[in-house]
Amino acid sequence: MTKRRSDRANSLDVARLAGVSIAAVSRAFTPGSSISDELAEKVRRAARQLNYVPNSLASSLITRQTNIVALMLPRMSNPIYAAMLAEVSRRLEELNKQVLLFTPSDESDFDRSLGRMLEYQVDAIVIAAATISNRMAALCLDRNVPVVMLGRHVPGLPVHSVRPNARDGGTRAAELLLRGGGRRFGIVAGPSSLTTMVERQRAVVDRLQAAPDASVVAIVDGGLTYEGGYEAALAIMDRADRPDSVVCMTDIMALGAMDAIRHRLSLRIPDDVAIIGFDDIAEAAHASYSLTTVKTPLVEMVGHMIDLIAMPETDAAPRIVEIDAELVVRRSTRAAHPAAQ
Coil vs helix vs strand at 51: coil
Query: How high is the pLDDT of residue 341?
Result: 47
CATH homologous superfamily for the domain 166-296+327-340: Response regulator (3.40.50.2300)
Left, alpha or beta for 104 (phi > 0: left; psi -120 to 50: alpha)? beta
Convert the pLDDT of each residue in 245-303 to its tens digit.
999 999 999 999 999 999 999 999 999 999 999 999 999 999 999 999 999 999 999 99
- Which residues are bridge partners to 185 per DSSP? 216, 245
Write out pLDDT tens, residues 5-16.
556 777 788 888
Q: Provide φ and ψ at 280, rounded to 5°.
A: 65, 55
Say yes or no: do domains 68-164+298-323 and 166-296+327-340 share a fold.
Answer: yes
Show me where the domains of the chain are located: 5-54, 68-164+298-323, 166-296+327-340
pLDDT averaged over every residue in the chain: 85
Q: List Cα–Cα distances, 171 to 88, 103, 164, 218, in angstroms.
A: 29, 31, 13, 18
Q: What is the pTM of this model?
A: 0.79
At 152 the three-state DSSP class reads coil
Helices (H), 31-109: 37-49, 56-63, 79-94
Give pLDDT, residue 209.
93
The list of the chain residues with pLDDT below 50 reads: 1-2, 60-63, 341
Question: Domain 68-164+298-323: which CATH class?
Answer: alpha beta
pLDDT score for 132: 63
62 and 22 in contact (C-beta within 8 Å)? no
Task: Name which of 279, 235, 281 is nearest 260 in CA terms.
Answer: 235
- Provide the 8-state DSSP code for 317: S
Burial of 241 (0-12, 13-18, 19+ CB in 10 A): exposed
Fold of 5-54: 434 Repressor (Amino-terminal Domain) (1.10.260)
**Is the dihedral angle over the CA atoms 280, 303, 60, 149 positive or is it negative?**
negative
Q: Residue 243 is which amino acid?
A: P
Largest CA distance in the chain: 85
Yes or no: say if 279 and 253 are a contact pair by the CB < 8 Å rule: no
Contact between 157 and 138 (Cβ < 8 Å): no
